[in-house]
Amino acid sequence: MSGAMEKLGIEKYEVRGECLMVGSKGHTAVVLLDRPQVGNAFNTRMKAELTRLWPELDTDPDIRVIVVGSTSERFFCTGRDVTEVAETGTISSDVPFRRTGALTNRHAEIWTPVVCAVEGKTIGGGLHFVVDADIVVAGSTATFMDTHVNVGLVGALENLGVALKAGLGAALYLTLLGRGAELSAAQAQQLGLVQEVVEAGSALTRAMELAEIIARNSPSAVSRSLEAIWGLATMGGYEQALQQGWLLLRRQWDHPDSKEGPRAWAERREPRWSPR
């Protein structure tokens, strides 16, 4: 679906792994999630492509800002592709967090600023991109929800990011209620999860405008400022919380619910949970 790139005036772009569109305009790289048939849910292949892409963009001397968005206005990202999980019976490798690959810029530990453009639904693991971006622009009809507990999984890593940016109360509300709680774009902005709310369908355009403003500044000053500010938030407690969250995720993989949830979702039935 090339319309999103053309709308931004980007004529030259490439498709990575049948799941990403990557192009550039001036000093701004544009990365669009492109699995609209499954709500832009990320699978093993998309994560592998992003793991390779982040350092590539970070070391490109012409790139000063990265815009992350979607080729769909219905979905930004609906999280982990649970169909793949149901088929394989596994979510990821049982290894330390920093060896699992880099879904986002923060996971890759890069300091090129990222502006995230959100249209439509962001669900579960899709929150990774939102909480790890430096600036988030949302279309007015965008919504945010977490569904980990609905499919028998632990809401840990991205949920910690929600707590960091939007507060503990918001994180607990979204995490514990699952499908029973949904934040509107306006609510997300009030909480600090989103910085700007714009007319539906124009988030990518506005994200590009913000990227152009950032690109006018000193790349080294911007990068080091980012590192300093994120350092305040992530040194000590947050990093330790990520490691603990990853440990809890790994423990849950051995629980029957982590397999039952994806199977039930794929089979369109109510899950049959096991005792805690």
Structure tokens at 21: 């569109």
Provide the CATH topology of domain 3-266: 2-enoyl-CoA Hydratase; Chain A, domain 1 (3.90.226)
R_g (Cα) of the chain, nearest Å: 18
How far is C-alpha 146 from the chain's CA centre?
12
Average pLDDT over residues 27-50: 95
The residue among 230, 222, 228, 235 whose CA lies nearest residue 113 is 222
Q: State how far the Cα of 207 lies from the Cα of 196, in Å rounded to an integer.
A: 9
Instruction: Report percent pLDDT > 90 for the chain.
Output: 66
Round the average pLDDT of the chain to a whole number and report it: 90
Q: What is the pLDDT of residues 66-89, one digit of tens each?
A: 999 999 999 999 998 888 877 766
Q: State how far the Cα of 126 lies from the Cα of 147, in Å rounded to an integer.
A: 10
The residue among 28, 43, 32, 24 whose CA lies nearest residue 1 is 32
The residue among 57, 147, 138, 64 whose CA lies nearest residue 105 is 57
How far is C-alpha 181 from the chain's CA centre?
19
Q: Which sequence spans correspond to the domains of the chain?
A: 3-266
Average pLDDT over residues 48-71: 96
Confidence class for position 130, pLDDT limits 50, 70, 90 = very high
Q: State how far the Cα of 211 lies from the Cα of 31, in Å rounded to an integer.
A: 13
Average pLDDT over residues 160-164: 94
Q: State how far the Cα of 200 lies from the Cα of 13, in Å rounded to an integer.
A: 24
The residue among 239, 100, 107 whose CA lies nearest residue 164 is 239
How far is C-alpha 276 from the chain's CA centre?
29
138 neighbors 185 (Cβ within 8 angstroms): yes
Q: State how far the Cα of 201 lies from the Cα of 25, in Å rounded to an integer.
A: 20
Report the SS3 class of residue 189. Answer: helix
Phi, psi of 14 (to 5 degrees): -130, 155
Q: What is the pLDDT of residues 187-235, one digit of tens each?
A: 999 999 999 999 999 999 999 999 999 999 989 889 888 888 888 776 6
Alpha-carbon torsion 75, 77, 83, 86, what sign? negative
Give burial (CB, 10 Å; 0-12/13-18/19+) of 44.
Answer: middle
pTM of the model: 0.87
Q: For the chain, where are the E strands, in sequence order?
A: 13-16, 20-25, 28-33, 65-70, 75-77, 114-118, 121-123, 135-139, 143-145, 183-184, 196-198
The partner residues of 75 in beta bridges, in order of sequence, read: 121
pLDDT at 40: 96
* 55 has a pLDDT exceeding 90: yes
